[in-house]
Structure 1
Amino acid sequence: MKAAILESFGKPLTVTTAPEPAIGTGEVIVDVVAAPILSYANEVFSGARKYLLPPPVIPGCGAIGRVREVGPDATKLKQGDWVFCDPTVRSRDDALMPDIVLQGWSARGTGGQKLQEFHRDGGFAERIRVPTENAIPIGDIDAAEAGRWCAINTLLIAYGGLLALDLKAGETLLVSGATGNFGSATVLTALAMGARQVITPGRNEAVLAELSRRFASRIKPVVLTGNGTQDIAAIHAAAEAPIDAVLDFLPPSADASAARTAIMTVRPYGRVVLMGGVGMLGGDDLTLPYPWIMRNLITIKGQWMYDPRAVHTMVGMVRGGQLNLDHFAVTEFPIDDVNNAVSHAAVNNGPFKLTVVRH
């Protein structure tokens, strides 16, 4: 089969013939139709992000495709089913604290690296082997729409944070990092879930204006100055109600003070979920006042990826019309042009822009 291989960090991907994946019990082989290229893929492949992705490896985080072959323990999946290949693979021998690997992308901890030795190759290939539970049916689609369905790869991460927040219809949410790829996906998903209003602080006035154009009065953009006291006051002035929850998606390049400002806007008894990359590349820690957290009964939680059941309800929101994938502008590249696709994704990394490899 044809595949793009990362032979070593800092080198372009090599498109070549790779061995066919072999199926086993508890696994599914999927014919990949489209695979998303994350906006920061160039930073992963260069080694700048220092991801645990030992080359040589077929990279790629998630895919849309059709079932080619199922293992003997599959009871519902059948050949030809359209599925989302969920890259979030969990170990099966510890339900309480499962190890996690992002297949074709990264691993977490020693256990994750051990899991990665088997669930290693990602979606930049004609076929992929995934655990049975990671081949999740999405219903029949037009093959031409497979690239657009890759958007759920990003939306699911946002949705995972919103589920961790226990966001309820009618609540007011602040999205820290709303002008980025994951942050803007959070805005779209929160509105689909029935948020009363989404507060979108940021410094990129052009992107804030674009969010306002898309979602009108359901969002409240706030241009940040960098002065924490002034910015908190401006956010509270913009919100029509107390801010029930904050979801942070600021990237590794962001200063911790921006995340701190966002968190400090939440109401007493409010909830905060952290999913961004603040501090990953060095810089100040996120310091928050102990008395404020304690006396205001603030809940602060970290979240990585999403609960496996989230895929089913996310697909349900798309099928039910609450969440419209047409917000995403999709640019597709053939697998032979994968390196140009990676460069394109890095430059076109704004809200609702999606780069895809087609097979």
Structure 2
Amino acid sequence: MRAAVLNKFGAPLTVQEVPEPLAGGGEAVVEVLAACVPPYADEVFGGRRNYPLEPPVVPGPGGVGRVVGVGPDATRLRIGDLVWVDPTVRSRDDTLTPDITLQGWSSRGEGGARLARHLHDGSFAELMRAPTENVHPLPAEAEQDLTLWSALGVYVIPYGGLLAGGLEAGETLLVSGATGNLGSAAVAVALAMGAGRVITPGRNRIVLDLLADRFGSRVRPVELTGDQAADVAAMSAAAEGPIDMVIDLLPPAAPSSAARTAAMTVREYGRVVLMGGVGMLGGADLALPYPWIMRNSVTVRGQWMYPRSANTGMIRLLASGALDLGAERVRTFPLDAVNDAVEHAAAHGGPFHRTVLTPSGG
């Protein structure tokens, strides 16, 4: 089969012939029809994000495809099923603290690296092998636009953070990093989950207006100034009441001060979920004040990716129409143009822009 291979960091991907994967026990093989290219893929492949990929590797975090083979222990999946392949793979020998790898993308710790060596290759290929539990059937309506449904991999990430924070219908949420790719997705998902108001701070007035125009009065944009006291006051005023939860999805280049300012708008007994990349490139620590957290009984938690059940929840939100993908701006590329796709993704990383690779011509 043909696949896009990262042979070394800093070099373009090479489309070449590689052995076809076979499904063993607890595994499935999927023909990849559509896979989103993250906006920061060029930073990963160039080595600037220092992700623990081990070349040569077929990259690509998940995708939409069709089952072409299953292991002997599969009881529900059938050859020909249209599916979403979740890249978040967990080890099976420790249910309390499983090792995690993002198949074809990243991993956590030595255990995650070992898992990545077994499930080494991702979705930038005609075929990929994945654990059976990571292969999720899609509804019939997904057939109408497979490239749109591949955006599921973007939306399920902030959905995992909103689930972790226990977002409830009618609550007020503040999305730190709302003008970015994942942050804007968090706004859309929170509204689909029934959030009463979503505060969207940022410096890009054009994007803030875009969010307000798309989602209406439940979105409250706030243009940030960099003055912590003024920004906290502006965000709090926009909420017109207590802010129940803050989710941070700022990128690695963002200063920790921006994340801290947003977090400190949350009400007493509120929740703060950290999912972004702040600090990954060095710089000052988040440094939330101990007395403020303690005296206000604030819950602060980190969340990397999402639980497996979030895939089912996201599929339901999409199938029901509660989360509408109609405003997505999608550009597709064939496998042979994978490097063009990576370049396009880097240049179009704003809200609701999707760059999609179609390895099998889907």
Question: Percent of counterpart pairs with the same letter?
Answer: 59
- Do the aligned residues in 1 keep the contact of 2:28 with 2:130 (CA within 8 Å)? yes
Provide, for residues 29-57 of structure 1, a one-character-per-residue CA deviation record: whole Å limited to 9, x for no partner.
Answer: 10110111000000000000000000000
Give the Cα separation in 2 of the matches to 1:170 and 1:139: 28
Residue-pair matches, total: 359
Q: Paired residue for 1:147?
A: 147
Q: Paired residue for 1:40?
A: 40
Provide, for residues 193-232 of structure 1, a one-character-per-residue CA deviation record: whole Å limited to 9, x for no partner.
Answer: 0000000000011100110110110100000000000100
Task: Answer yes or no: is 1:202 the counterpart of 2:199.
Answer: no
1:252: how far off?
0.5
Output aligned runs, 1:91-240, within 5 Å. 91-141=91-141, 143=143, 145-240=145-240
Provide, for residues 85-122 of structure 1, a one-character-per-residue CA deviation record: whole Å limited to 9, x for no partner.
Answer: 00000000000000000000011001000101111100
Provide, for residues 281-318 of structure 1, a one-character-per-residue CA deviation record: whole Å limited to 9, x for no partner.
Answer: 01110011111100000000000000100111111111
Give the Cα separation in 2 of the matches to 1:168 and 1:353: 28
Give the Cα separation in 1 of the matches to 2:228 and 2:346: 30
Give the Cα separation in 1 of the matches to 2:63 and 2:233: 43
Counterpart code for 2:306:
Y
- Do the aligned residues in 1 keep the contact of 2:141 with 2:319 (CA within 8 Å)? no
Q: Paired residue for 1:331?
A: 331
Give the Cα separation in 1 of the matches to 2:163 and 2:142: 29
Could you state the TM-score of these two structures normalised by the residue count of structure 2? Answer: 0.98
Provide, for residues 235-266 of structure 1, a one-character-per-residue CA deviation record: whole Å limited to 9, x for no partner.
Answer: 11111220000000011100111001000000
Provide, for residues 175-200 of structure 1, a one-character-per-residue CA deviation record: whole Å limited to 9, x for no partner.
Answer: 00000000000000000000000000
Large movers: runs of 4+ above 3 Å: 141-144
* SS in structure 2 of the partner of residue 330 of structure 1: strand
1:321: how far off?
1.3
Q: Paired residue for 2:314?
A: 314
Give the Cα separation in 2 of the matches to 1:292 and 1:69: 54
Superposition CA RMSD, Å: 0.8
Give the Cα separation in 1 of the matches to 2:150 and 2:164: 22
Give the Cα separation in 2 of the matches to 1:171 and 1:40: 31
Q: Paired residue for 1:341?
A: 341
Counterpart code for 1:124:
F
- Do the aligned residues in 1 keep the contact of 2:53 with 2:105 (CA within 8 Å)? yes
Q: Which sections of structure 1, spanning at least 5 residues, go unmatched?
A: none
Q: Paired residue for 1:55?
A: 55
Give the Cα separation in 2 of the matches to 1:226 and 1:139: 45
Give the Cα separation in 1 of the matches to 2:250 and 2:241: 24
Give the Cα separation in 1 of the matches to 2:144 and 2:345: 20
